[in-house]
A = this chain, B = another copy of it.
Amino acid sequence: MSNVERLKNRLADFNALTSAVAIMEWDQQTYMPRGGAAARAEHVGILSRMAHEMFTADETQKLLEHAKGETRDGTDEQALIRVTQREMDLRTKIPASLVEEKSKLSALAHEAWMVARANNDFAGFAPYIEKMFDIARREAEYLGYKEDIYDALLDQYEEGATSADVRKMFGDLKGPNIQLIKDIKERGKPVDDSGLYGEWDERKQREFTEKLVKTIGFDFNRGRQDTAPHPFCTGWSVGDIRLTTRFKPYVGSAIFGSLHEAGHGMYEQGSPTEWDLTPLAGGVSLGLHESQSRTWENIVGRSKAFWKRFLPDLQTTFPQLKSYDLNTWYRSINKVEPSFIRVEADEVTYNMHILVRFEIETDLLKEKLKVKNLPEAWNAKYTEYLGVTPKTDSEGCLQDVHWSGGSIGYFPTYSMGNLLSYQIWNALRKDVGDTDALIEKGEFQPILSWLQKKIYSQGRRYTPKDLVMRVTSKPMGAEDYLAGLDAKYKEIYDL
Contacts and interface: CB of A to CB of B under 8 A. Distances in A.
A394 to B, nearest CB: 30
A16 B36 contact: no
A23 interface: yes
B16 A42 contact: yes
Contacts of A39: 19, 236-240, 276-277
A13 interface: yes
A471 interface: no
Contact of A33 (B16, B31, B47, B221): B221
A interface, how many residues as a size bin?
35 or more
A110 interface: no
A33 B219 CA distance: 10
Contacts of A174: none
B19 A43 contact: yes
Nearest to A50: B13
A34 interface: yes
Given A12-B46, A277-B42, A31 B224 contact: yes
Nearest to A269: B35
Interface string A15-46: 11101100110010001111111111011001
B239 A37 contact: yes
A293 to B, nearest CB: 20
Given A13-B50, A23-B23, A36 B277 contact: no
A453 interface: no
Interface string A470-490: 000000000000000000000
Nearest to A38: B239
B47 A239 contact: no
Contact of A35 (B15, B17, B32, B222): B222
A145 interface: no
A26 to B, nearest CB: 9
Nearest to A36: B240
Given A38-B239, A39-B276, A276-B39, A47 B222 contact: no
Nearest to A30: B31
Nearest to A20: B20
A219 to B, nearest CB: 7
A16 B35 contact: no
A12 B224 CA distance: 32
B239 A42 contact: no
A197 interface: no
B222 A33 contact: yes
Contacts of A37: 239
27 contacts: A12-B46, A13-B50, A15-B43, A16-B46, A17-B20, A20-B20, A23-B23, A23-B24, A23-B27, A32-B240, A33-B220, A33-B222, A33-B239, A34-B222, A35-B222, A35-B223, A35-B237, A36-B236, A36-B237, A36-B239, A37-B239, A38-B239, A39-B238, A39-B239, A39-B240, A40-B240, A43-B277
Given A16-B43, A20-B24, 18 more contacts: A13-B46, A15-B43, A20-B23, A31-B224, A33-B222, A33-B223, A33-B239, A34-B221, A35-B221, A35-B222, A35-B237, A35-B239, A35-B240, A36-B222, A38-B239, A39-B239, A39-B276, A40-B240
Which 3 residue pairs of A and B lie closest in terms of their CB atoms, listed nearest first? Answer: A36-B240, A39-B237, A35-B239
